[in-house]
Amino acid sequence: MDQTGFRDWLCCRLVEESRDAIIFADKNGLIRLWNVGAEAMFGYRATEMEGQSLDRIIPEALRARHNEGFRRVMAAGESRYAADLLAVPGLRKDGARISLEFTITLIKDNQGEVLGAAAIIRDVTARWQRDQELKKRLAALESGVEPGAREEGILPIF
């Protein structure tokens, strides 16, 4: 296998076998690539998702906002989430909500026209749940502190 062939093969293997979800949606928002990581994360097989709208994995209350943003990014040809992580809830096939973080890469043809967007997505539900529990515990602890004690540096001993 020559270097170009090896590189193409390696890129395919990386996408297909990644445990992170890797999804490509065309400029109309239709899914054209759904890897095994996406299958495991969302519960849909690639054959169920390819050709379908991204709406299937977006909670209903967020769909209009997502679609508006997606159209804006496709028209502008750039997204700030190429560098910044986007944190949003997602929807599994069984209806369960999950917490997601991802980046977006716009895929352009040789003339620079946007063909669609690729997302590399990680399920951070367990971390989000731990953070929420810690916030609750902290709030409970702080509610036991006498007013003004924090400012004076005096904390009650339990």
| Structure-block tokens of residue 131 | 């953070």
Residue 81 has pLDDT above 70, yes or no: yes
| Structure-block tokens of residue 48 | 């169920």
pLDDT class for 156, splitting at 50, 70, 90? very low
Instruction: Name the residue among 32, 57, 69 with its Cα closest to residue 47.
Output: 32
Q: Which amino acid is at 36?
A: V
Q: pLDDT at position 154, please?
A: 52
Mean of pLDDT over the chain = 89
Residue 58 has pLDDT above 90, yes or no: yes
Q: pLDDT at position 151, please?
A: 54
State how far the alpha carbon of 146 is from the alpha carbons of 60, 142, 155, in Å: 43, 9, 8
Per the listing, tokens 């904390």 go with 155
Q: pLDDT at position 150, please?
A: 54
Q: pLDDT at position 135, please?
A: 85
| Structure-block tokens of residue 8 | 């193409």
Arithmetic mean of pLDDT, 9-18: 92
Q: pLDDT at position 158, please?
A: 40
Residue 18 has pLDDT above 50, yes or no: yes
Q: pLDDT at position 131, please?
A: 81
Q: Which amino acid is at 63?
A: R
pLDDT class for 82, splitting at 50, 70, 90? confident
